[in-house]
Amino acid sequence: MFRRNFLVSALGAAAAPSKKPLNVLFVVSDDLTSTALGCYGHPIVQSPNVDSLARAGTRFDRAYCQYALCAPSRASFLTGLRPDTTKVITNGPDFRDFIPGHVTMPQLFKNNGYQAIREGKMYHMGVPGTVGTDRWQDAASWTHNGSPQGKEHNSKGEGRNLTPEIAQGVAMQYVRTPDATEQADYDAANRAIAHLEKYRNDPFFLGLGFVRPHVPFVAPGEYFDKYPLARIKLTQNPANDLDDIPKIVTKTLPNTSFHMKMNEDQQLEALRSYYAAISFMDDQLGRVLKTLDRLGLRENTVVVFQSDHGWHLGEHTFWQKRSLMEESAKVPLIISAPNQRTRGKVCTSLVELVDIYPTLAGLAGLKPPENLHGQTLQPLLDNPGKAHKPAARTQLTTPAVDGRAVRTANFRYIRWKYGNEVAEELYDHKKDSREFSNVATKPEYAKELARHRSLV
């Protein structure tokens, strides 16, 4: 029996019951920064399908991951628990080793009679190394556990490794391929479409994980052609940008600081390749959304689009992830739900990816585990201007370093502990939205520093 929530007056119109249980299409793009999407204001990136989803739902402008690395972030939002609880703080462990009995988000739907379907990267998947395998994908979460196939850097076509000294999976490598059908994201979209056809009359939770724009940047040449190098602008940083950043930061990012040793021409190629991978992913999303509409399923399906974390594109000379600064911690997040009262609106309240689990459970009228760390976003779908939480937290923990970040309405605070040393960063977003000036040592910010220390 499906448990449906009829407390519309308490939870708002976004939770209004339908004749059938609400379906969920949960889409996760890998390594996608919000700054590289049209609906978030990028001047040249073409992402029409993500943009159309934003017009049909709510775009969250200040959504934050709990860990800026694939496995820890995914284990966190799929369990609804923070990394200190899942114990997944690298790309190796399985969360079941630490919390074996926990009911994950897709598992909750599975336990309540839904088809819980995975196609692509949901939990951690090494890209490119374990694409097409089901390693780490947690069989207990799914009724169907699918691993689309892709040739990745071995795809036919012309390409280049811009950082040949760096290992696969981090190296800035691209391939212009003539054949979209060789790619995991194309296969994932095909499989998702087939599931929608098959289960159009059954309740489903469809987890669709795209591996792009994660490196290697592989896409048909037509997507590269959308971005002539002459139109691409490099990120500009002040000459002294790194002078007030603790030295531990660049030591924590040994391969991805200082532009990964790429010259300006190589950085332009990297940006073009990243943009091309985004547009290719966006087209695969579009094929799935068109099927959802063709089958008449949109009116009864909650659609979530998000990334697992952000990504640097040269800010502070950083590329990729694993920093605690805004570009790495902030994620794109769009939710479109049946019966929500407002559409095409922007929510600027602070939200976290741990909030997704209780949100989807609430919209479907399912009772989630009581130990979840997030809080439902349902009220924000009806009223995007409503306050949500006072702070969003992201961490970066290694055996040698403990990094913690807190994002509040107007500040970002970062605390690093390594050995007996403590280093701090504080950024005033009212004056410095790009976090170029660390004001942690300035006397006029002493009260804010003390306040944020208590929040970490």
Distances (CA, A) of 444 to 144, 321, 380, 433: 56, 31, 34, 18
Which residue in the list 70, 153, 388, 452 is annotated as catalytic?
70
Per residue, the 3-state secondary structure of the chain, as one string, reads: CCCCCCCHHHHCHHHCCCCCCCEEEEEEECCCCHHHCHHHCCCCCCCHHHHHHHHHCEEEEEEECCECCHHHHHHHHHHCCCHHHHCCCCCCCCHHHCCCCCCCHHHHHHHCCCEEEEEECCCCCCCCCCCCCCCCCCHHHCCEEECCCCCHHHCCCEEEECCCCCCCCCCCEEEEECCHHHCHHHHHHHHHHHHHHHCCCCCEEEEEEECCCCCCEEEEHHHHHCCCHHHCCCCCCCCCHHHHCCHHHHHHCCCCCHHHHCCHHHHHHHHHHHHHHHHHHHHHHHHHHHHHHHCCCHHHEEEEEEECCCCEECHHHCEECCCCCHHHHEEEEEEECCCCCCCCEEECCCEEHHHHHHHHHHHHCCCCCCCCCCCCCHHHHHCCCCCCCCCEEEEEECCCEEEEEEECCCEEEEEEEECCEEEEEEEECCCCCCCCCCCCCCHHHHHHHHHHHCCC
Active site annotation includes 312: no
Q: Are strands 411-418 and 217-220 parallel, antiparallel or unpaired?
A: unpaired
Active site annotation includes 124: yes
Which residue in the list 65, 102, 124, 259 is annotated as catalytic?
124
**CA distance linking residue 364 with residue 21, whole number of Å:** 7
Tokens of 162: 């811009």
Residues annotated as catalytic (active site), given as ranges: 70, 124
